[in-house]
Amino acid sequence: MEMVLPVANATAAALARVSAMFNAPLARAVVFGIHIDGHLVIEGLLIAAILFQLSRKSYKPPKKPLTEREVDELCDEWQPEPLCPPIKEGARIEAPTLESAAGPHTTVDGKEVVNFASANYLGLIGNEKILDSCIGSVEKYGVGSCGPRGFYGTIDVHLDCETKIAKFLGTQDSILYSYGISTIFSVIPAFCKKGDIIVADEGVHWAVQNGLQLSRSTVVYFKHNDMASLASTLEKLTHGNKRTEKIRRYIVVEAIYQNSGQIAPLDEIVRLKEKYRFRVILEESHSFGVLGKSGRGLAEHYGVPIEKIDIITAGMGNALATDGGFCTGSIRVVDHQRLSSSGYVFSASLPPYLASAAISAVDHLEENPSVLANLRSNITLLHKELSDVQGLEIASNILSPIVFLKLKTSTGSSVADLELLEVISEKVLKEDSVFIAATKRSSLDKCRLPVGIRLFVSAGHTESDILKVSESLKRVAASVL
């Protein structure tokens, strides 16, 4: 207590002195008729000090050059950033190696297997007439074309193939691409630009996704193969929106979805397209040569006039057992691509022997319509045999040549699901010599549909092939799941 009283007295005395200073006559001056109190003087001094500090040049220590030893030490310590991120454990893909043609039966790692991993829908791989046409084309034209179509890379067989496809489908014209997967992601940006609106199915495969991204258009996704979701999306985009009426609008779908095996309801899509005044881009890589009475695709399957579909694309590496792709439609649609589609303008044209193979494959389909009946019979039998596999269920359409099996009960993680499915695929190959494949998606693939096992059915498969894969899957799935 004795120590507190002196401190309190000293504090009170100091406050009294400060108060007296501010109340002194010097602290209350009059300048040009304005009374200036003492606190204004102090604030002015503070502002002047701040301005002085801000106006001073920052101090920079004198530069001293590094010695050679210091430079060497810094170089030894420097670690460059990796060009790509490290590959995670389990992310490496070690696919089986085929050692013969990818027909219904093939050789994998020195062992003959039944092949359900290749999209050889019509069983045309190894077809003698197609092989003969390829040999004749190689003898006449050589292997490659050595130039893009617009720069001396157009060969008469390219024009014959384009005419053949257009005539087969009943369209005005068609255009060939040298690589199947590049067809759709070249066609979409050729027509869809920044500011346009694209309504796309959320289940489209990576090539379509890439085309959507390259277009720089506004992309809106609807629920997978859900026409109520499509109608709702189109209504939201167009209702009361006058701006939408003045820009280009597209619907992008696959005929048979690679990621699910589902078939798009084209009749309903065309109805909505006409109601809301959109254009349709249809990707038919897995339906051309498969659906319809004569294999002419989704339009023939639903009885929809082909001219109601604005743009049709397809790869030729599946049903036709060749390579490359095509886009077909009106003359205006085709001619626009000859100057505006990057995959056509800047790529070397399709090797002539592949165009000859495509012509021969279409000829074979026209001359042998029974091949479609064989394919559908095999699909129906496989659906029947796989209807009661433990832990797995069929997610694909009964008419789809892609029989898609997914887990009845997911683990909650697509990575864990895929690991289970890969174990099943590996055991089926190792123990029963049946080649099947789980769906692998890259980190670039934004599809969020369930992963699964994809079986590609061929007209070349026999009943014993179907029964063998079914029995093997039932046994292995029961032991794993």
- The whole-number pLDDT of residue 27 equals 47
Lowest mean pLDDT among 6-20, 317-331, 336-350, 434-448: 6-20
Domain 103-122+368-478 fold = Aspartate Aminotransferase, domain 1 (3.90.1150)
pLDDT value of residue 244? 78
* Range of weakest confidence among 24-28, 145-149, 453-457: 24-28
> Are 452 and 439 within 8 A, CB to CB?
yes
Tokens standing for 104?
């219904």
- Mean residue pLDDT of the chain comes to 90
| Assigned fold of 126-365 | Aspartate Aminotransferase; domain 2 (3.40.640)
Q: Residue 89: what pLDDT?
A: 65
Burial 387-398 (b: 16+ CB within 10 A, else e): eebeebebbbbe
Banded pLDDT at 86 (limits 50, 70, 90) = confident
Smallest Cα–Cα separation from 203: which of 249, 254, 250, 237? 254
Strands (E), 140-179: 173-177
- 92 — pLDDT class (breaks 50, 70, 90): low
Q: What is the pLDDT confidence band of residue 440, given thresholds at 50, 70 and 90?
A: confident
Q: In the prediction, which pLDDT does 17 show?
A: 59
**Average pLDDT in the 42-65 region?**
75
Q: Where are the domains of the chain?
A: 103-122+368-478, 126-365
Would you put residue 282 in left (φ > 0), alpha (ψ -120 to 50) or beta? beta
23 CB contacts (<8 Å, ≥6 apart)? none
Question: How do residues 288-347 score in pLDDT, each as one tens digit?
Answer: 999 999 999 999 999 999 999 999 999 999 999 999 999 999 999 999 999 999 999 999
Does the pLDDT at position 8 exceed 80? no
Residue range 207-236, pLDDT digits in tens: 999 999 999 999 999 999 999 999 999 999
| pLDDT at residue 4 in the model | 47
What proportions of the chain, in percent to the nearest 5, are helix, strand and coil?
45, 15, 40
Q: How confident is the model at residue 71 (pLDDT cuts 50, 70, 90)?
A: confident
**196: pLDDT strictly greater than 50:** yes
Q: Measuring CA to CA, which residue among 115, 175, 479, 221 is closest to residue 326?
A: 175
Confidence class for position 56, pLDDT limits 50, 70, 90 = confident
Please determine, for residue 266, whether its predicted confidence score (pLDDT) is greater than 70.
yes
The Cα–Cα gap between 123 and 460 comes to 5
pLDDT, average across residues 9-24: 57
Quote the pLDDT of residue 20.
57
Residue 378 CB contacts under 8 Å (≥ 6 apart), including other chains: 457, 458, 459, 461, 466
Give the Cα separation of 62 and 348 in Å (integer): 60
Give the tens place of pLDDT for each residue, 333-392.
Answer: 999 999 999 999 999 999 999 999 999 999 999 999 999 999 999 999 999 999 999 999
pLDDT bin (cut points 50, 70, 90) of residue 82 is: confident
For 231, the token pair is 């109608």
Instruction: Read off the pLDDT band of 26 (50, 70, 90).
Output: very low
